Structure 1
Amino acid sequence: MSGSASRRSVLAAGAVALAAGCTKYGDEGAEPEPPESPAPDGSTPASKTPAGDERPAGPELAKTSEVPVGGGKVVKDKKVVVTQPESGTFKAFSAVCTHSGCIVAEVADGTINCPCHGSKYRVADASVADGPAPRPLPPQKITVTGNSITLG
Protein backbone atom coordinates (compact mmCIF):
# COMPACT_ATOMS: atom_id res chain seq x y z
CA MET A 1 0.00 0.00 0.00
CA SER A 2 2.79 2.40 0.73
CA GLY A 3 3.88 1.99 -2.89
CA SER A 4 0.54 3.22 -4.21
CA ALA A 5 0.45 6.07 -1.71
CA SER A 6 3.83 7.33 -2.89
CA ARG A 7 2.74 6.89 -6.50
CA ARG A 8 -0.32 9.08 -5.78
CA SER A 9 1.90 11.66 -4.11
CA VAL A 10 4.19 11.79 -7.13
CA LEU A 11 1.24 12.09 -9.53
CA ALA A 12 -0.36 14.84 -7.42
CA ALA A 13 2.93 16.75 -7.22
CA GLY A 14 3.35 16.40 -11.00
CA ALA A 15 -0.16 17.75 -11.61
CA VAL A 16 0.52 20.75 -9.37
CA ALA A 17 3.80 21.44 -11.19
CA LEU A 18 2.05 21.19 -14.56
CA ALA A 19 -0.68 23.59 -13.50
CA ALA A 20 1.87 26.04 -12.14
CA GLY A 21 3.81 25.90 -15.40
CA CYS A 22 0.73 26.98 -17.34
CA THR A 23 0.51 30.39 -15.68
CA LYS A 24 3.00 33.16 -16.08
CA TYR A 25 4.16 35.04 -12.98
CA GLY A 26 2.27 38.34 -12.70
CA ASP A 27 -0.30 37.40 -15.37
CA GLU A 28 -2.79 35.51 -13.22
CA GLY A 29 -6.27 36.38 -14.43
CA ALA A 30 -5.00 38.60 -17.24
CA GLU A 31 -6.88 38.35 -20.50
CA PRO A 32 -4.80 37.63 -23.62
CA GLU A 33 -4.57 40.47 -26.11
CA PRO A 34 -6.89 39.99 -29.09
CA PRO A 35 -5.21 39.74 -32.51
CA GLU A 36 -5.04 42.95 -34.49
CA SER A 37 -7.68 43.24 -37.16
CA PRO A 38 -8.05 45.59 -40.12
CA ALA A 39 -9.46 49.04 -39.42
CA PRO A 40 -12.83 49.93 -40.97
CA ASP A 41 -11.09 51.60 -43.93
CA GLY A 42 -9.24 48.37 -44.74
CA SER A 43 -5.84 49.44 -43.47
CA THR A 44 -4.11 47.37 -40.83
CA PRO A 45 -2.84 49.01 -37.64
CA ALA A 46 0.88 49.63 -37.26
CA SER A 47 2.71 47.05 -35.24
CA LYS A 48 3.43 47.89 -31.64
CA THR A 49 7.01 49.11 -31.52
CA PRO A 50 8.79 51.26 -28.94
CA ALA A 51 8.80 55.00 -29.61
CA GLY A 52 11.40 55.95 -32.17
CA ASP A 53 11.55 52.42 -33.60
CA GLU A 54 10.63 52.38 -37.26
CA ARG A 55 9.92 49.28 -39.25
CA PRO A 56 11.88 49.07 -42.47
CA ALA A 57 9.81 49.43 -45.61
CA GLY A 58 8.70 46.17 -47.18
CA PRO A 59 9.59 45.09 -50.67
CA GLU A 60 8.90 47.54 -53.48
CA LEU A 61 5.83 46.51 -55.44
CA ALA A 62 5.86 49.13 -58.18
CA LYS A 63 6.68 52.67 -59.15
CA THR A 64 3.67 55.01 -59.08
CA SER A 65 4.21 55.63 -62.79
CA GLU A 66 3.64 51.90 -63.49
CA VAL A 67 0.09 51.95 -62.07
CA PRO A 68 -2.37 53.61 -64.47
CA VAL A 69 -5.24 55.77 -63.20
CA GLY A 70 -8.41 53.62 -63.21
CA GLY A 71 -6.27 50.50 -63.49
CA GLY A 72 -3.60 48.60 -61.68
CA LYS A 73 -0.62 46.30 -61.69
CA VAL A 74 -0.51 42.65 -60.61
CA VAL A 75 2.67 41.72 -58.72
CA LYS A 76 2.45 37.94 -59.03
CA ASP A 77 5.54 37.03 -57.00
CA LYS A 78 4.18 38.98 -54.00
CA LYS A 79 0.55 37.92 -54.67
CA VAL A 80 -0.57 41.56 -54.54
CA VAL A 81 -2.42 43.82 -56.95
CA VAL A 82 -1.88 47.59 -56.70
CA THR A 83 -4.56 49.90 -58.09
CA GLN A 84 -4.98 53.64 -58.65
CA PRO A 85 -8.74 54.25 -58.72
CA GLU A 86 -8.26 58.04 -58.78
CA SER A 87 -5.20 60.08 -59.63
CA GLY A 88 -2.80 59.94 -56.68
CA THR A 89 -4.82 57.36 -54.69
CA PHE A 90 -3.13 53.96 -54.49
CA LYS A 91 -4.62 50.82 -52.96
CA ALA A 92 -3.48 47.23 -52.71
CA PHE A 93 -5.30 43.94 -52.38
CA SER A 94 -4.47 40.28 -52.26
CA ALA A 95 -4.06 38.90 -55.79
CA VAL A 96 -5.50 35.53 -54.70
CA CYS A 97 -9.01 35.05 -56.10
CA THR A 98 -11.58 34.38 -53.37
CA HIS A 99 -13.31 31.79 -55.57
CA SER A 100 -10.69 29.12 -56.18
CA GLY A 101 -7.34 30.58 -55.13
CA CYS A 102 -5.98 31.43 -58.57
CA ILE A 103 -3.76 34.50 -58.93
CA VAL A 104 -5.52 37.31 -60.77
CA ALA A 105 -3.91 37.97 -64.13
CA GLU A 106 -4.68 41.50 -65.22
CA VAL A 107 -6.34 44.80 -64.50
CA ALA A 108 -8.41 46.12 -67.41
CA ASP A 109 -11.47 48.31 -67.92
CA GLY A 110 -11.70 49.17 -64.20
CA THR A 111 -11.65 45.58 -62.96
CA ILE A 112 -9.12 43.12 -61.55
CA ASN A 113 -9.65 39.94 -63.56
CA CYS A 114 -9.13 36.29 -62.65
CA PRO A 115 -8.40 33.98 -65.59
CA CYS A 116 -9.63 30.76 -63.94
CA HIS A 117 -13.41 31.24 -63.84
CA GLY A 118 -13.96 34.85 -64.91
CA SER A 119 -14.30 36.58 -61.55
CA LYS A 120 -13.88 40.37 -61.67
CA TYR A 121 -13.20 42.80 -58.85
CA ARG A 122 -13.55 46.62 -58.89
CA VAL A 123 -10.22 48.53 -58.76
CA ALA A 124 -11.59 51.05 -56.21
CA ASP A 125 -12.32 48.59 -53.39
CA ALA A 126 -11.82 45.04 -54.76
CA SER A 127 -15.53 44.31 -54.34
CA VAL A 128 -16.95 41.62 -56.62
CA ALA A 129 -18.07 43.06 -59.97
CA ASP A 130 -18.78 39.65 -61.54
CA GLY A 131 -18.77 36.17 -59.97
CA PRO A 132 -18.32 33.39 -59.17
CA ALA A 133 -16.09 35.00 -56.50
CA PRO A 134 -18.01 34.97 -53.18
CA ARG A 135 -16.31 37.96 -51.51
CA PRO A 136 -13.93 40.89 -52.19
CA LEU A 137 -10.17 40.59 -52.37
CA PRO A 138 -8.67 41.31 -48.92
CA PRO A 139 -6.89 44.69 -48.59
CA GLN A 140 -3.11 44.86 -48.16
CA LYS A 141 -1.22 47.65 -46.41
CA ILE A 142 1.09 49.68 -48.64
CA THR A 143 3.21 52.77 -48.25
CA VAL A 144 3.73 55.32 -51.02
CA THR A 145 6.95 57.29 -50.68
CA GLY A 146 7.81 59.54 -53.58
CA ASN A 147 7.56 57.35 -56.70
CA SER A 148 7.85 54.06 -54.77
CA ILE A 149 5.01 51.80 -53.58
CA THR A 150 6.12 49.31 -50.92
CA LEU A 151 4.37 46.57 -49.03
CA GLY A 152 3.68 47.33 -45.38
Structure 2
Amino acid sequence: MTPARNLSRRSVIVWGGAGAAAAATVALVGCSTGPSTDTTTSNEPPTEIAQLADIPVGGSIVVMLAGKQVVLSQPESGTVKAFSAVCPHQGCIVAPQEKELDCPCHGSRFDAATGEVLEGPATSALSPVEVTVAGTSVMSA
Protein backbone atom coordinates (compact mmCIF):
# COMPACT_ATOMS: atom_id res chain seq x y z
CA MET A 1 0.00 0.00 0.00
CA THR A 2 1.29 3.46 -0.92
CA PRO A 3 1.60 5.98 1.89
CA ALA A 4 -0.93 8.83 1.71
CA ARG A 5 0.38 12.18 0.53
CA ASN A 6 -0.52 15.33 2.32
CA LEU A 7 -1.07 17.96 -0.34
CA SER A 8 -1.37 21.56 0.73
CA ARG A 9 -4.02 23.81 -0.73
CA ARG A 10 -1.22 25.75 -2.47
CA SER A 11 0.10 22.55 -4.17
CA VAL A 12 -3.35 21.67 -5.47
CA ILE A 13 -3.85 25.19 -6.85
CA VAL A 14 -0.38 25.34 -8.47
CA TRP A 15 -0.66 21.89 -10.06
CA GLY A 16 -4.26 22.49 -11.10
CA GLY A 17 -3.23 25.76 -12.78
CA ALA A 18 -0.39 24.04 -14.62
CA GLY A 19 -2.81 21.39 -15.87
CA ALA A 20 -5.26 24.05 -17.06
CA ALA A 21 -2.45 25.88 -18.90
CA ALA A 22 -1.36 22.65 -20.58
CA ALA A 23 -4.95 21.90 -21.62
CA ALA A 24 -5.32 25.42 -23.06
CA THR A 25 -2.10 24.99 -25.05
CA VAL A 26 -3.30 21.67 -26.46
CA ALA A 27 -6.64 23.26 -27.37
CA LEU A 28 -4.91 26.13 -29.18
CA VAL A 29 -2.62 23.76 -31.09
CA GLY A 30 -5.69 21.81 -32.11
CA CYS A 31 -7.04 24.97 -33.77
CA SER A 32 -3.94 25.37 -35.90
CA THR A 33 -4.41 25.31 -39.65
CA GLY A 34 -1.30 23.15 -40.06
CA PRO A 35 2.30 23.82 -40.88
CA SER A 36 3.07 26.69 -43.21
CA THR A 37 5.17 26.03 -46.27
CA ASP A 38 6.02 29.71 -46.62
CA THR A 39 9.51 30.33 -45.31
CA THR A 40 9.19 34.11 -45.30
CA THR A 41 8.18 35.88 -42.12
CA SER A 42 7.82 39.39 -43.48
CA ASN A 43 4.51 41.24 -43.79
CA GLU A 44 6.14 43.89 -45.96
CA PRO A 45 4.86 44.79 -49.43
CA PRO A 46 6.28 42.80 -52.37
CA THR A 47 9.82 43.76 -53.30
CA GLU A 48 12.02 42.84 -56.21
CA ILE A 49 14.37 39.99 -55.30
CA ALA A 50 15.84 39.27 -58.74
CA GLN A 51 15.55 39.95 -62.45
CA LEU A 52 14.52 37.14 -64.80
CA ALA A 53 17.79 37.74 -66.65
CA ASP A 54 19.69 36.88 -63.42
CA ILE A 55 18.26 33.33 -63.43
CA PRO A 56 19.49 31.08 -66.25
CA VAL A 57 16.70 29.27 -68.11
CA GLY A 58 16.99 25.68 -66.89
CA GLY A 59 19.08 26.81 -63.92
CA SER A 60 18.87 28.41 -60.48
CA ILE A 61 20.35 31.03 -58.20
CA VAL A 62 20.30 31.53 -54.42
CA VAL A 63 19.04 34.88 -53.07
CA MET A 64 18.18 36.33 -49.67
CA LEU A 65 14.51 36.90 -48.85
CA ALA A 66 13.46 38.13 -45.41
CA GLY A 67 16.86 37.11 -44.05
CA LYS A 68 16.64 33.55 -45.38
CA GLN A 69 18.30 31.88 -48.34
CA VAL A 70 15.90 30.99 -51.14
CA VAL A 71 16.52 29.20 -54.44
CA LEU A 72 14.97 30.77 -57.55
CA SER A 73 14.72 28.44 -60.56
CA GLN A 74 13.58 29.23 -64.09
CA PRO A 75 12.59 25.85 -65.58
CA GLU A 76 11.30 27.56 -68.72
CA SER A 77 11.57 31.13 -69.92
CA GLY A 78 9.41 33.44 -67.78
CA THR A 79 8.41 30.79 -65.21
CA VAL A 80 10.02 31.05 -61.78
CA LYS A 81 9.83 28.50 -58.96
CA ALA A 82 11.16 29.26 -55.47
CA PHE A 83 12.15 26.99 -52.60
CA SER A 84 13.85 27.26 -49.26
CA ALA A 85 17.57 26.68 -49.81
CA VAL A 86 17.70 24.73 -46.54
CA CYS A 87 18.04 20.97 -47.04
CA PRO A 88 15.37 19.21 -44.95
CA HIS A 89 17.83 16.45 -44.03
CA GLN A 90 20.09 18.40 -41.65
CA GLY A 91 19.76 22.07 -42.55
CA CYS A 92 22.67 22.63 -44.94
CA ILE A 93 22.25 25.13 -47.79
CA VAL A 94 21.76 23.52 -51.20
CA ALA A 95 23.77 24.66 -54.21
CA PRO A 96 22.44 25.06 -57.77
CA GLN A 97 23.93 22.55 -60.23
CA GLU A 98 22.27 23.02 -63.64
CA LYS A 99 18.76 21.46 -63.31
CA GLU A 100 19.43 20.18 -59.79
CA LEU A 101 19.99 21.52 -56.30
CA ASP A 102 22.69 19.59 -54.49
CA CYS A 103 23.32 19.44 -50.75
CA PRO A 104 27.07 19.63 -50.15
CA CYS A 105 26.83 18.08 -46.66
CA HIS A 106 25.37 14.63 -47.27
CA GLY A 107 24.75 14.37 -51.02
CA SER A 108 20.98 14.85 -51.25
CA ARG A 109 19.85 16.01 -54.69
CA PHE A 110 16.66 17.90 -55.56
CA ASP A 111 14.87 18.77 -58.80
CA ALA A 112 15.30 22.53 -59.34
CA ALA A 113 11.89 22.83 -61.05
CA THR A 114 9.85 21.04 -58.36
CA GLY A 115 11.98 20.86 -55.21
CA GLU A 116 11.35 17.10 -55.07
CA VAL A 117 14.02 14.70 -53.81
CA LEU A 118 16.02 13.01 -56.60
CA GLU A 119 18.42 11.24 -54.25
CA GLY A 120 18.62 11.00 -50.43
CA PRO A 121 19.39 10.87 -47.60
CA ALA A 122 16.74 13.66 -47.54
CA THR A 123 13.25 12.15 -47.57
CA SER A 124 11.16 15.30 -48.08
CA ALA A 125 11.11 18.01 -50.73
CA LEU A 126 12.41 21.53 -50.33
CA SER A 127 9.75 23.85 -48.91
CA PRO A 128 8.12 26.03 -51.57
CA VAL A 129 8.27 29.83 -51.24
CA GLU A 130 5.74 32.12 -52.92
CA VAL A 131 7.11 34.56 -55.48
CA THR A 132 5.56 36.32 -58.46
CA VAL A 133 6.86 37.56 -61.79
CA ALA A 134 6.01 41.14 -62.73
CA GLY A 135 7.39 42.00 -66.13
CA THR A 136 11.11 41.18 -65.89
CA SER A 137 11.19 41.26 -62.08
CA VAL A 138 10.85 38.40 -59.61
CA MET A 139 8.94 39.73 -56.61
CA SER A 140 8.44 38.51 -53.06
CA ALA A 141 4.80 37.50 -52.52
Measured against the shorter chain, the TM-score band is 0.5 to 0.7
Describe the SS at the equivalent of 1:140.
coil
Gaps of 5+ in 2: 1-29
Identity of aligned residues (%): 44
Distance (Å, rounded) in 2 between the aligned partners of 1:96 and 1:103: 5
Residues paired across the two proteins, number: 120
Question: Which residue of structure 2 aligns with residue 111 of structure 1?
Answer: 100
- Please, which of 53, 71, 88 is the counterpart of residue 65 of structure 1? 53
What's the secondary structure of 2:53's corresponding residue?
helix
| Cα distance per residue 1:62-82 (max 9 Å; x no partner) | 111011111111115531100
Secondary structure of 1:92's counterpart equals strand
Q: Which has the larger radius of gyration?
A: 1
2:49 aligned counterpart, secondary structure: strand
Letter in 1 for 2:83: F
CA drift of 1:33 comes to 6.6
Q: 2:72 matched to which residue of 1?
A: 82
Q: Please, what TM-score do these two structures have when normalized by structure 1? A: 0.61
Q: How does 1:1-150 map to 2 (within 5 A)?
A: 34-35=32-33, 57-76=45-64, 78-105=68-95, 107-150=96-139
TM-score (norm 2): 0.66
**CA–CA distance in structure 2, aligned partners of residues 113 and 149 of structure 1:** 23
Mapped contact 1:94–1:139 kept (Cα < 8 A): yes
| Counterpart position of 2:16 | none
Q: Does structure 1 retain, via aligned residues, the 8 Å contact 2:60–2:71? A: yes
- Counterpart CA distance in 2 for 1:127 and 1:36 is 21
Q: Secondary structure at the match of 1:65?
A: helix
User: 2:60·2:98 contact (CA, 8 Å) conserved in 1?
Assistant: no
User: How far off its partner does 1:85 sit?
Assistant: 1.0
